[in-house]
Amino acid sequence: MVIQLSEDEANFRLRKWYNHVPCKDWCGASGETCGFLGREFPLRGKLSRPDRPPSDMALLFKKKVLLKNHTTFRIGGPAKCFYEAKTAKHLIAALRKARELKLPFFVLGEGSNLLVSDKGFNGLVVKIQDSRFKIQDSYLWAASGVSLSTLVRETGKRGLSGLEWAGGLPGTFGGAVFGNAGAFGGETKDNIIWVEALDPHTNFGMGASKNLKVKRFTKAQCKFGYRTSIFKERGWLVLSALLSLKRGDKKAIQGVALAHIKQRKERGPLEYPNAGSIFKNCKVTGVPKKVAGMFKGVIKEDPFPVIPTAAIIAKTPGLMGIKIGGAQVSKKHPNFIINTGGAKAIDVLSLINLVKRKVKKSFGVDIAEEIRYIE
């Protein structure tokens, strides 16, 4: 099979990236042949070969693990089964076992941007633990389990520009790709060359890759949109991605990231458990012209003109600081709902619905949730 390469990918090969990227464990290639390079290569460098999945994955599944301990909201009941996957092979083996046991499954990162039902999840929750990444020249390869904060810090230390917009943003790299996370005019998609993902809804065969293959998506194939992607729309699992960054002034890059971190600490209610922004910002083109005029002074590029939903909520009568149970609309940043202590998922859902109704009544604007709800 002939693989057509972009110029970036061709340059990537010339830099002998294959000496470091653990393709055998992540792209489903068999033996010692890399499915990307079409040649044999040694796995060496800082990336060690992960352990092989055990023959019976169910023996490693933990029972009745409270999911509130694995979400930034600190809300959520127990998972029937829980497993921490070190690599894609472990993930695939776990999903295959879940299918065999007829268990629904859900894949978890750091647990931000997420609300879990008080009843928990009656199936298997797989937490991706792979935090490997490699920086070579101006390229960054990262597994889905790496925290965004780590990548922002490590790329900044090397004078590489492209991720400084994510300074202070919580969550994992995989989650950022999945939802095309963005802030301060930047988005995850901006530097993507390709993403590797798998469709967990395909049939599971008994072989290592039969009927369940890791697929590589070009940037165009990812269908990135505002806080979305083909992976989010179809429920596919992001495993890793390759980014192309740019050389820049180290101090300037780090300065931008640190400024964003500082701003998030000053403006966000980070002293309370939260899931991050509850609602997406509102596209200027999607609101009545009269409303757009009312908020003209706060319109920003994100990466296109939007009205911050926080500003709309702040101007909606009766919403600032409103509380249901242990959940409260933050007075510090009204697009955050905080857990003031003992909040339940039902409290948060009730508050979300109340905010949406009042905003609709006051401004005729339908605001959409950014967080996901798992039940």
> Active-site residue numbers?
227, 277, 370
Bridge-based pairing state of the strands 105-108 and 121-128: parallel
Phi, psi of 171 (to 5 degrees): 100, 180
What is the Cα–Cα distance from 177 to 228, expressed in whole angstroms? 9
> Do residues 326 and 347 touch, judged by C-beta distance below 8 A?
yes
**DSSP state letter for 335:** T
What is the Cα–Cα distance from 154 to 177, expressed in whole angstroms? 18
Host H or E run for residue 194: strand 192-198
> Do residues 3 and 10 touch, judged by C-beta distance below 8 A?
no
Q: What per-residue string of b and e applies to 305-317 under the rule 16 or more CB within 10 Å gives b?
A: ebbbbbbbbbbbe
- Among 175, 242, 243, 244, smallest CA distance to 22 is for 242
Host H or E run for residue 133: strand 133-136
- Cα–Cα distances in Å, from 293 out to 234, 274, 299? 36, 31, 10
What is the Cα–Cα distance from 272 to 164, expressed in whole angstroms? 25
Instruction: Order the strands of the 133-136 sheet from edge to edge.
Output: 133-136, 139-143, 237-244, 192-198, 215-218
